[in-house]
Structure 1
């Protein structure tokens, strides 16, 4: 999904460090997290119910927004990712215990280390993600998202019709993210078009900022490279 690890991390404050009791404060009750059971790629959403520092964490699975791809089992290796106040976190753990009644709860090992990156420190996120561009005439075409920020994006199109677009034209972008995030729709206008090899690269400014989308992309793309 990303060019190389070097491209993603260049100039970014990615930190892996031992976990202290501060994690208990960050993982406040109700914090939303994304859980991935290895080796499956699918992720499901959960909320933090509580934790005992240096011992275990308790998550409540959100059955209304996509559950686990398989029933969690004791000993399963998992990856947890979440965002708090502009900082994306990720860590590895393993399942210690599960219950299903009166509601699905997952008890997991307190992590030994945690990886984090400050989303607010960075203006643009380099990436290579397929997307769909919709012109003002409703015509759709597949393109490649080259980078994105809260305010805009850079998109490469190889379709000859892309050359007919010009600065000032309205466009829509559709970006497919892993469940439970799904399809993300963005609206903006072209501010410039340049030719790079066989592709036309369009600079797009959004009609409104998308901070939550950018934060989710940092969580998905950057944290994935380190855990």
Structure 2
């Protein structure tokens, strides 16, 4: 999803990119909650489009001119010119590595708690995205993983669930930076 802002009208709306033809145009579909003033867009109006690119953690932004607007089944379809340039702004302080590696997690470090099988979807020195059910923001977790060859040792990290992306995807912030882990994983990945 992207955020769209009309320079002339001032409104803001959410949109998804429906299609692209490189160096020619983009097709946006504005969300159903978009303001009615979207229909006031005319050819030549300038839109500012902003989006967040995962897992790199980069905010992208560009301006483009409206080529046409139509309403289809209650949604606004906007054809805009291909951007001349795109501005990139890093948002994350630490780069993420996409990894899809198995791990075990224990919730809240309770003695009765047992390790549950999970997967690291991506990892950075300051956090990770986990694939596992049953977590909620605020939960403390201990993550244990076996490092790949040539290291072949176990590495444990303590952290806290800070974001819930879906029922099974969760963002975790580590209690301590994991620079050593990142050095080892970046050699392997």
- Tell me the TM-score normalised to structure 1 length: 0.39
Structure number with greater CO (CA < 8 Å, separation at least 6) is 1
Quick check: which has more Rg, 1 or 2?
Answer: 2
- Tell me the TM-score normalised to structure 2 length: 0.46
Structure whose residues are more often helix by fraction:
1
